[in-house]
């Protein structure tokens, strides 16, 4: 398979359309900002966006080891989250704001991930038509959450996963986080390299697969685990197909595993042995919803994926064997006794799309053998299927764009905070601690080099108690001397803090150093 210029152009055009579509809500949110309100930068999950930008700011300061930016405890600096630390270094080198560098990286790695994903399917499917169908399904496919909402089928207290489970859906991931796009690129490339190795038995493909696995680990320590399982079973299916074991393949698997062991052990030691990092690990819970949510969240994949799995076992196809066990391992681990259950479903529409599209292809082949004229309907029916599977992603983008025009408080902050952030950036020392409400703290961590006492449910250690302490402070109910017992250097009292207590009275240990518009900044002395 050697793509021609037309094929490269087709992928580029479709990738551009996917990235534009995913960017529409953010563009609408940005254009909806007013003289009084500023947009926080993303159309979904602005809390994690603030964390990512603050990590980039840490990298812009010149270091490579990361310390938490949203808590006052100082764990041992660790070489984790290297994607955003590196992106911060690049931002400093090219003298761009971290927000602009972030967006450029999202587009760059969005393209690389979509190209890698397309050529993975081109490697799997014998015909270009089916590769394109699988690509479109993997990128835009989701569940029937839109129908659930219309008919009130939601089985529990949370909304359908189509509208909040970023990790599972490719277009959702690419519209928000560049590190997701980078990881998807590596996962797709590793699968391509491994399938090429199994066919051609050239050792350089093993090296390339191992290198991409390492880069994915640096970005997302657990994302490659399910891919590893898939690649191992691709090798098993090849042995099964040929009815003999090639020891060279066994050693190739050993090299792939050994390349990932050092980083795996390092992350394990940091996240479980260091007391403070371990506390972060414990409270960083992303548990799976009841299985019913996954049934609906991938509803249109399941019938044809079952046919694809049956074909994988019947015809012993290595690529389908990889997809089958990648998906199976991901859903089993999604209910394993780990606090990060649903993280294992990152990129799950990739194997599901491979299986579903192959199952759909087999059904058409079977139907055409009995009724040849039925093949005339193949393009239209496949387009209809992909379109139905894409409705939730289309609805998500349009719905969020309309929603952001109403200026929801979670996605906008008072414009007066820009002046306060600029003053702090000019007068405070990097890594000084600031105390403010949760959203103000996120804005400060995003817009300055300061760290904050409190501000993120997972990044702030002992979040609940610190939230209580922060509220008590602004309410005037904190114990005497409480503030001096913390490393806080600056206190910000603005519109959001007035929502806690409109009559805040600063104590004698606070000196007013900034008073502009409706924001005051106090220095702790």
Distance CA 173, CA 158 (A): 20
Q: Indicate if the pLDDT at residue 74 is higher than 80.
A: no
Going by C-alpha positions, the residue among 116, 111, 106 that lies closest to residue 188 is 116
Kindly tell me if the per-residue pLDDT of 273 is higher than 90. no
The whole model's pTM is what?
0.94
The answer to whether the beta carbons of residues 298 and 352 sit under 8 Å apart is: yes
Retrieve residue 234's tokens: 């691709």
Give the closest residue to 454 by CA, choosing from 58, 462, 446, 485: 462
Q: Are 421 and 444 in contact (CB under 8 A)?
A: yes
| pLDDT surpassing 80 at residue 101 | yes
Strands of 451-452's sheet in order across: 451-452, 433-435, 488-493, 519-524, 510-516
Whole-angstrom distance, CA of residue 364 vs CA of residue 380: 12
Q: What is the pLDDT of residue 425?
A: 94
Q: Given the DSSP bridges, would you call strands 510-516 and 451-452 parallel, antiparallel or unpaired?
A: unpaired
Share of the chain above pLDDT 70, in %: 99
**What average pLDDT does range 196-206 have in this prediction?**
94
DSSP state of 24: H
Q: Is the pLDDT of residue 33 over 90?
A: yes
How much is the pLDDT for 339? Answer: 87
- Please report the pLDDT score of residue 369 as a whole number: 65
pLDDT tier, 334 (very low <50, low <70, confident <90, very high otherwise): very high
Q: In the chain, pLDDT over 90 holds for what percent of residues?
A: 81
Which 8-state DSSP code applies to residue 450? -
Confidence band (pLDDT; 50, 70, 90) for 4? Answer: confident
Evaluate if residue 164 carries a pLDDT over 90. yes
pLDDT over threshold 70, residue 226: yes
Which distant-in-sequence residues (6+ apart) come within 8 Å of 137 by Cβ? 301, 349, 353, 356, 357, 385, 386, 389
- Please tell me the predicted confidence (pLDDT) of residue 27: 97
Mean pLDDT for 245-253 is 92
- Please report which residue ranges of 298-437 form alpha helices under DSSP H: 302-315, 318-333, 349-370, 378-404, 416-427
User: How many residues does the structure list for the chain?
Assistant: 525
């Amino acid at each position: 398979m050697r793509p021609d210029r037309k094929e490269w152009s087709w992928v580029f055009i479709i990738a551009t359309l996917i990235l534009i579509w995913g960017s529409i809500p953010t563009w609408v949110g940005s254009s909806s900002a007013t003289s009084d309100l500023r947009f926080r930068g993303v159309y979904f999950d602005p809390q994690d966006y603030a964390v990512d930008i603050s990590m980039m700011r840490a990298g812009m300061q010149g270091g490579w080891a990361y310390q938490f930016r949203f808590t006052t405890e100082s764990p041992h600096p660790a070489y984790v989250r290297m994607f955003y630390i590196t992106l911060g270094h690049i931002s400093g080198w090219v003298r761009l704001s971290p927000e602009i560098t972030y967006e450029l990286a999202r587009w760059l790695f969005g393209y690389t991930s979509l190209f890698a994903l397309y050529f993975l399917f081109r490697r799997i499917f014998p015909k270009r038509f089916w590769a394109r169908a699988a690509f479109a399904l993997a990128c835009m496919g989701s569940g029937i959450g839109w129908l659930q909402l219309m008919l009130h089928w939601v089985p529990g207290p949370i909304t359908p996963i189509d509208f909040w489970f970023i990790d599972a859906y490719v277009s959702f991931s690419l519209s928000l986080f560049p590190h997701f796009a980078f990881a998807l690129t590596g996962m797709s490339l590793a699968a391509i390299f491994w399938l090429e190795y199994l066919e051609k038995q050239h050792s350089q493909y093993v090296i390339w697969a191992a290198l991409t696995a390492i880069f994915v680990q640096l970005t997302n320590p657990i994302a490659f685990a399910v891919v590893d399982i898939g690649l191992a079973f691709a090798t098993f299916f090849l042995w099964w197909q040929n009815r003999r074991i090639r020891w060279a393949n066994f050693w190739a698997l050993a090299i792939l595993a050994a390349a990932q062991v050092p980083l795996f052990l390092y992350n394990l030691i940091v996240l479980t042995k260091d007391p403070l990092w371990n506390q972060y690990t414990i409270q960083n819970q992303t548990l799976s919803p009841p299985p019913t949510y996954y049934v609906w969240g991938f509803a249109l994949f399941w019938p044809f994926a079952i046919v694809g799995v049956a074909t994988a076992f019947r015809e012993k196809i290595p690529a389908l064997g990889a997809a089958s066990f990648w998906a199976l391992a991901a859903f089993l681990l999604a209910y394993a006794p780990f606090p990060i259950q649903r993280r294992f479903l990152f990129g799950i529409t990739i194997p599901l799309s491979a299986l579903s599209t192959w199952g759909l292809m087999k059904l058409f082949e079977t139907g055409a053998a009995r009724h040849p004229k039925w093949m005339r309907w193949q393009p239209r029916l496949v387009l209809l299927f992909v379109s139905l599977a894409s409705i939730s992603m289309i609805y998500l983008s349009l719905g969020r764009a309309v929603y952001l025009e109403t200026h929801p408080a979670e996605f906008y902050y008072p414009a007066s905070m820009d002046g306060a952030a600029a003053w702090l950036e000019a007068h405070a020392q990097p890594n000084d601690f600031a105390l403010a409400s949760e959203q103000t703290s996120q804005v400060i961590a995003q817009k300055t080099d300061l760290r904050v006492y409190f501000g993120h449910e997972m990044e702030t250690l002992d979040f609940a108690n610190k939230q209580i302490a922060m509220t008590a402070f602004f309410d005037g109910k904190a114990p005497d001397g409480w503030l001096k017992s913390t490393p806080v250097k600056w206190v910000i009292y603005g519109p959001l803090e007035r929502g806690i207590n409109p009559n805040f009275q600063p104590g004698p240990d606070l000196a007013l150093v900034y008073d502009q518009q409706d924001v005051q900044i106090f220095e702790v002395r």
